[in-house]
Homo-oligomer: A and B are copies of this chain.
Amino acid sequence: MFEARLAQGSIFAKVIEGLRELVTEATWECSGNGITLQAMDSSHVALVSLVLRSDGFETYRCDRNMSLGISLTSMSKVLKMMGKDDTLTIRVNDDSDAIVLSMESQNQEEFAEYELRLMDLDSEHLGIPDTDYSCVVKMPSTKFSRICRDMAILGDSVTICSTKDGVKFGAKGDVGQGSIRLNQSTNVDKEEDAVSIELREAVALTFAVRYLNMFCKAAPLSNQVNLSMSEDTPLMCEFKVGDMGHIRFYLAPKIEDAEN
């Protein structure tokens, strides 16, 4: 039997919203340590890796390791029915071919229970090498979302250049060309508004902005996003999931255009 309970069910709904544009169905690996998920998008360009540690749940029980094939599209529909302060319990009974989501309102007067059939999915474990990145940019996730959305209006690609003083996003296309430059914050009132850069080596990398925009669906999870970059290495775009884990997206840079 698998059963995990989150007092703030809305966090789980945000996780699913953050994933479901990139991957519509995926295999959840459940163990005593927690839930993990790895998947590539349908065109095998981007990769996502989710970790939710068991100690982040209010209660967590996993009697034996389980691989659960789940339609994120269906799960998203069901989670949209959850009240914003509802408690969420996820349960899979032994020998069951369904996952059960139970929601309970804060005043304990409304209970909802949804059952989704599990799917048989080809599961491939993807080795992600540990990388010592040349540069890590931390910035407000809403700002990153807005910039990616704006750059997509200008062109298909966005070039991210980072030096120790700041980070610059640039794009060009039919409308014209443009760039947005953020200075490293010197002092900010709220840490969540800060732009900070850890840099061993300056980088200039070009990415398909369409994928960055899909990654930004996970921005509501976290005030800050971490962009880890090295030349000729996939970008790692990370959103923390509270204190319990993270979503990491990986995207290889484009070869041409890198000189922008």
A positions within 8 Å CB-CB of B: 74, 77-78, 80-81, 98, 108-117, 143, 150, 153-154, 175-183, 185, 195
Contact = CB atoms under 8 A, between A and B. Distances in A.
Contacts of A80: 150, 153
A113 B74 contact: no
Contacts of A195: 109
Given A109-B185, A110-B181, A116 B176 contact: yes
A109 B179 CA distance: 14
22 contacts: A78-B176, A78-B178, A80-B153, A81-B150, A81-B178, A81-B180, A98-B176, A109-B183, A110-B143, A110-B181, A110-B183, A111-B181, A111-B183, A112-B179, A112-B180, A113-B179, A114-B177, A114-B178, A114-B179, A115-B178, A116-B175, A117-B176
User: Sorted from nearest, which 9 A-B pairs have the closest CB atoms?
Assistant: A114-B178, A116-B176, A81-B150, A112-B180, A74-B175, A111-B181, A109-B183, A115-B177, A115-B176
A229 B9 CA distance: 34
Nearest to A113: B179
B182 A110 contact: yes
Given A78-B178, A110-B181, A117-B176, 18 more contacts: A77-B153, A78-B175, A78-B176, A80-B150, A80-B153, A81-B150, A81-B180, A98-B176, A108-B183, A110-B182, A111-B181, A112-B178, A112-B179, A112-B181, A113-B179, A114-B176, A114-B177, A116-B176
A113 B77 contact: no
Contacts of A98: 176
Contacts of A143: 110
Contacts of A176: 74, 78, 98, 114-117
- Name the residue in A80, A113, A195 with the highest tally of chain B Cβ atoms < 10 Å from its Cβ: A113
B182 A113 contact: no
A80 B77 CA distance: 32
A103 B187 CA distance: 21
Nearest to A181: B111
A116 B174 CA distance: 9
- Name the residue in A111, A153, A178 with the highest tally of chain B Cβ atoms < 10 Å from its Cβ: A178
Contacts of A113: 178-179, 181
